[in-house]
Amino acid sequence: MTFKVNDKIRQTIGAQIGRMTIAAISGGRCQRLDDGIRLPVGYGYCVDVHYTPADDYTVERVFVRDGKVTSHGAETMVYADMLSDTAYRASCFRNDDAEYWPAALTV
């Protein structure tokens, strides 16, 4: 079962990340997901922000090619006060920071 959110929750996610951070991550582009938002970074990489029923977030680095989504690491249990920093750190897809992205593949 997938947890689904409405547009009001997506707007709240965007507000918690912040307009300027969204602009820095994706140039202001934002796509809807069933359970959150996707911020396209470039070169096929995106930052997915998933809202969970526990009232926290999962921020995931993904690579999208030909409709196939490959995870390049995720950080779970991200609370609203750290969402902006975590989303920005996830957008820096060329780093290999194993401390924050233990499941990240070497890019």
Non-local (6+) Cβ contacts of 5 within 8 A are 13, 34, 35, 36, 51
Query: Average of pLDDT values for 83-106?
Result: 71
Report how many domains make up the chain: 1
Residue 99 domain flag = no
pTM: 0.86
> Residue 2: pLDDT above 80?
no
pLDDT tens readout for residues 13-57: 999 999 999 999 999 999 999 999 999 999 999 999 999 999 999
pLDDT tens digits for range 3-12: 899 999 999 9
Burial of 30 (0-12, 13-18, 19+ CB in 10 A): middle
Q: Is residue 101 part of a domain?
A: no
Output the domain CATH number for residue 61: 3.30.160
Which tokens hold the place of 12? Answer: 């709240």
| Domain that residue 25 falls in | 7-91
Q: What percent of the chain has pLDDT over 90?
A: 77
